[in-house]
Chain A
Amino acid sequence: MYRLRWKIPLIIFSTILLLASGYVYLKVAPPAQSLLHDGQMSLRDGDLAKANHFVEKLVSAGYMEHAALLWGESLYRRRKFGQAESELAKVNGASALYPQAAVLFAYCRLEVGDATTAQELLHGVLEDHPNDVEAHRGLAQVYFTLGANTRVVDELEIVAKLDPSDTRPWMYKGGFYADVGLLIESVGAYEQALSRSVTPEQIGRARFGLAESLLKFGQHSRAIEVLAGLPEMFRTDPNAIVFKADALLRQAEFKAARELIAPVVSGPSPGSQALTIAGRVEFEAGDYERAIAFFERATVADAAYHEAHYHLAQALTRLGKTEAGAAQQKRADAIKADLQLMSQLVDGAGMRPWDAIVREKLADVSRRLGKDDIANKWAKAAKMCPPPPKR
């Protein structure tokens, strides 16, 4: 009885001490997930130093896997892929952090040209976590790197469902649909992107895409309205002026189009689209000499811009320069043939993400069109294509 009487206060005191410790621990030492999240936010904001601080905290608190994940991402963002992979490999496959680590590892693999492993890793994540939005984003990135645009769209549709706030799937789909001529779908996608946009840059890009598709769709007035809603920083952007001039041209408001485009084409390095619009305005007015001058500049600015070549051929013919017109038309038709070939090959690349041959052909066609940067990307994609992995 005497012994029990002493033990009761002891038990009470120990319990209080334990609870107090736990309280102190929770209060003073935040959980690992919170530290990791804060560290990742820092990385997103570009604050590497702050992110490193969170790495140290995680290490101090003994959360080694969390630390490895965060440090791995930091290294990835600094393009130190090998080191990043080493860190990420420290995350155990059974860990709750594994999906994130695997996705990052996949990005690293993709950066070093190993799309096969990247895809395998991401599929592995999705087998256990089919709604892992980052894995779907990662797959979209893999397919984008391979030039398999239809597969990109498939993945981005899942991303859009899993993360409705993300504008990027909609922006990509807007451009994709515009490229393949599905203009209603393109307009719809850009509108979705715009409704999700917050920053001026996001709003600007969405409005540009929307305006361009509306123009192609024949809704010139609406395109002009959309451009009028551009954030201030984009109002004097040459693209905004070019699109508006194009809309005015299509509405037969030639004088207004001419006045609008004139400063752009007399400025430094006007693009081929601006020059072609200026040329078409003169063409409509019957001033074929001036039109030819603009079209010629457009074909120099972009040797593969088929429309400029076509209009140049038309203008030369109307000026009575029939032979020159015919020769120019021949050039235009050769470019068109290559663009049509490219179109078919890209369809094939979309259906067969691991087909190196079609990608090599795309590189060849791109080079023929004078697009070496694009050719290099296709060539790089071709190199990433071993026999397709088994899932």
Chain B
Amino acid sequence: MLHLHMRYWQRLLVLMILSQSGCTGKSVTPTSAPQEQAATSGPGLFRDMTDDSGLSAVFRNGEDADRYSILEVMGGGCAAIDYDGDGLLDLFFPCGGYFDGPDKKQICGTAPKLFRNLGGFQFRDVTAEVGLTALADGQPWFYSHGAAACDYDRDGRTDLLMTGYGRVALWHNESDGAGGRRFREVTKEAGLLGPHFWATTAAWGDLDGDGLPDLYVCHYLDWSNENDPTCPGYRTNIVRDVCPPRQFNSRPHLLYRNRGNGTFENATATSGIRADRPDGKYGKGLGCLIADLDGDGKPEIYVCNDGEDNFLYLNRSVPGKLKFEERGLELGIARDSAGMANGSMGVDVGDVDGTGRPAIWVTNYENEFHALYHLRSGKGMFFDYASQRYGLTAIGSRFVGFGTAFVDADLDGWEDIVIANGHVVRHSPTNSIRQRPILFRNVPLGDRRQFTDVAIEGGPFFAEPRVGRGVVVADLDNDGRPDLVYCHINETARVLKNESLRDNHWLGVELAGQDRRDPTGAKLSLVVGQRTLVRLLAGGRSYLSSSDPRRLFGLATNQQVGRLTVEWPSGTPRKEWWDSLPIDRYHTLLQGSGRAVE
């Protein structure tokens, strides 16, 4: 936070004795902010199903070693992945790590967990069954954070990537020879073993139009055992606390091009991604998103950096050659409305006002507002900072936001927003460490739209403060209502069933590219009554997490839909449509099965 100490000397202080007598005036009702809504025990949009579900995934951060390291604050995410192809999304959780050894300097990892979705919000731990109990070659587990699911080799089975401190791990989803599935770690043979320093969020997406999903891996900063300063607390009576990110330098992020033969090429240096910079400004990356923001058929990469400018890499790639141009600051999407870089963590893309123009939504640190950057109409790809305009600053700036997502929670056709909040320091002098999650409903305000904090409507979960991190949106019971998974530090992840009213209808779409081409970057436009609902298929999103790859359209009470148009990022045709798809069900749309648009 930049201190506006230019005003210090203007704050005249004359405390001369006897210069003021006692006085009383009328009292002022203190402003309570943010508007903390009362906890509710009544039903809401979401019901916490965790306790009876069999799900028990806890991210441990090792803070009991009292190292006060910044490593401990990252937390973890989750990947929604149908690993066994039974049509139900399963859940994969990186589980963090701990410190070991006599001096607690050994950075160790905790094995991840995979829970198979049995239906009816019942889950079973299948970690051992699928071979996720050990890394290849007897390598020790690493301190893990993020998960990203993708069929990287286009064999029809979704694979898994896990990120963490010092490395990533890629698992190939294979048959176990007995009718089941298992994961085989292939990081080394895929060429993904290095040079990772501290990998956080990863995003898959076909960036060069060759149909193969490429990989962007954010990196954070250069904390290590050798670079582990002791920092004072954030007030005079607090002796020690976690160091702020500005104590450290950023590390280069990595971009890998998928060669199509099970291996990846490190394309960072030649692609225009920030690398080998004399100023060392690589961005302390925590969140990223791959989506086609300018409608040219080539997905961009948007990166959230902590305390530094966010990046928008415009895609100039051609098949076989990744090429990007970073222009975030120029396009108005790097900083807040005061021109300051924020501590940005989570991200998503959505259509907030029904115009089809994408808005990038970013969660930020305390004393900063979460940021909504809305693509402006007209020439150029400029974004307007629109947080205040959409009422998103009404929750104040007290929250430290992480995982987030656009989600049409009530299927009214307007995308709402969910956020996981939780502080990073151990002893905040003024703020709560545990913070309640947020549910913003997208509601009408005259002829405009606005977001309203609706904790009570969300259900009891949204009134309970936690140390939140990753958030996943996934329809876990395939009822067309998007469910949620919230990840926390040192506490079980929670799975929330969407229990919105059944009055509203829906349409679900799963895109299947030609020859299993990766469809990330696709744009879906659905005519519903007088409106056209636009949804983008994006890689990355949220924080350290990987959500349901399907797209859900809320139809409100409309009983039928018009034309659904899909603009594909590659393959043929590039644009096609389907008319009057039956509602209240999922459709797997194969590229080429619709009516092509010439």
Contacts and interface: CB of A to CB of B under 8 A. Distances in A.
A271 interface: no
B449 to A, nearest CB: 11
Interface in A48-87: 73
Given A218-B396, A326-B330, A196 B382 contact: no
Nearest to B450: A252
A184 B396 contact: yes
A183 B430 CA distance: 10
A195 B11 contact: no
Nearest to A310: B339
Contacts of A182: 367, 430
Interface in B1-54: 1-9, 11, 13-28, 30-31, 33
B339 A336 contact: yes
Interface in B303-334: 329-330, 332
Interface string B359-382: 000000001010000001010101
A156 to B, nearest CB: 8
Contacts of A40: 18
Nearest to A100: B17
Contact of B17 (A134, A152, A179, A194): A134
A197 interface: yes
Contact of A336 (B2, B9, B394, B396): B2
Contact of A103 (B17, B369, B382): B17
Given A44-B18, A184-B33, A218-B393, A329 B24 contact: no
Contacts of A336: 2, 339-340
Nearest to B429: A182
A172 B14 CA distance: 11
Contacts of B389: 250-252
Given A165-B23, A181-B367, A310 B30 contact: no
A314 B8 contact: no
A326 B331 CA distance: 11
A103 B22 CA distance: 20
Given A138-B15, A184-B33, A194 B9 contact: no
B18 A179 contact: no
B574 interface: no
Interface stretch (A16-24, A317-325, A382-390): A317-325
A145 to B, nearest CB: 9
Contact of B7 (A103, A175, A284, A326): A175
Which 10 A-B pairs have CB atoms at the shortest separation, nearest pair first? A310-B339, A218-B393, A165-B22, A181-B1, A137-B15, A343-B3, A252-B389, A181-B367, A250-B388, A198-B23
Per DSSP, chain A at the interface is helix
Contacts of B380: 318
Contact of A307 (B5, B19, B339, B376): B339
A156 B576 CA distance: 69
Interface in B432-455: 448
Given A183-B367, A198-B23, A219-B396, A371 B7 contact: no
A258 interface: no
A167 B28 CA distance: 14
Contact of A346 (B8, B339, B369): B8
A347 B340 CA distance: 19
B240 interface: no
Category for how many chain B residues contact A: 35 or more
Contacts of A374: 6, 8-9
B329 A329 contact: yes
Contacts of B11: 172, 175-176
Interface core residue of B17, B329, B376 (most chain A CB under 10 Å)? B17
A164 B24 CA distance: 10
A311 B382 CA distance: 13
Nearest to B31: A187
A140 interface: yes
Contact of A222 (B2, B5, B31, B393): B31
A175 B12 CA distance: 11
B357 interface: no
A104 interface: yes
Contacts of A109: none
A339 B11 CA distance: 18
A304 interface: yes
A219 B367 contact: no
Contact of B25 (A137, A197, A369): A197
Nearest to A322: B330
A287 interface: no
Contacts of A347: 3
B23 A191 contact: no
Given A168-B15, A342-B5, 14 more contacts: A138-B15, A141-B15, A167-B23, A168-B20, A179-B8, A182-B430, A187-B30, A218-B369, A218-B393, A218-B395, A284-B384, A317-B330, A336-B2, A346-B8
B2 A343 contact: yes
26 contacts: A138-B17, A141-B13, A141-B16, A168-B13, A168-B15, A179-B5, A182-B430, A187-B30, A191-B28, A214-B31, A217-B33, A217-B397, A218-B388, A218-B396, A218-B397, A306-B339, A307-B339, A310-B338, A311-B339, A326-B330, A339-B2, A339-B4, A343-B5, A347-B3, A371-B6, A374-B9
Interface string A302-314: 0010110111001
Contacts of B430: 182, 184-185
A237 interface: no
A179 B4 contact: yes
Contacts of B27: 195
Per DSSP, chain B at the interface is loop
A244 B120 CA distance: 53
Contacts of A159: 15
A217 B396 contact: yes
A152 B31 CA distance: 25
B6 A339 contact: yes
Contact of A179 (B3, B330, B378, B395): B3
Contacts of A103: 17
A213 to B, nearest CB: 9
B398 interface: yes
A335 to B, nearest CB: 10
A172 B11 CA distance: 7
A340 interface: yes
B398 to A, nearest CB: 6
Contact of A219 (B7, B19, B33): B33
B236 interface: yes
B167 interface: no
Interface string A129-172: 00000100110110010010110101000010001111110001
A104 B17 contact: yes
B388 A251 contact: yes
B13 A144 contact: yes
Interface core residue of A252, A311, A369 (most chain B CB under 10 Å)? A252
A43 interface: yes
Given A185-B430, A343-B2, A286 B33 contact: no
Interface string B398-441: 10000000000000000000000000000000100000000000
A208 interface: no
A43 B396 contact: no
B335 interface: yes
B13 A152 contact: yes
A354 interface: no
Contacts of A196: 23-25
A270 interface: no
Given A181-B367, A182-B430, A347-B3, A191 B18 contact: no
A314 B13 CA distance: 38
Given A40-B18, A346-B5, A325 B330 contact: yes
A218 B33 CA distance: 10
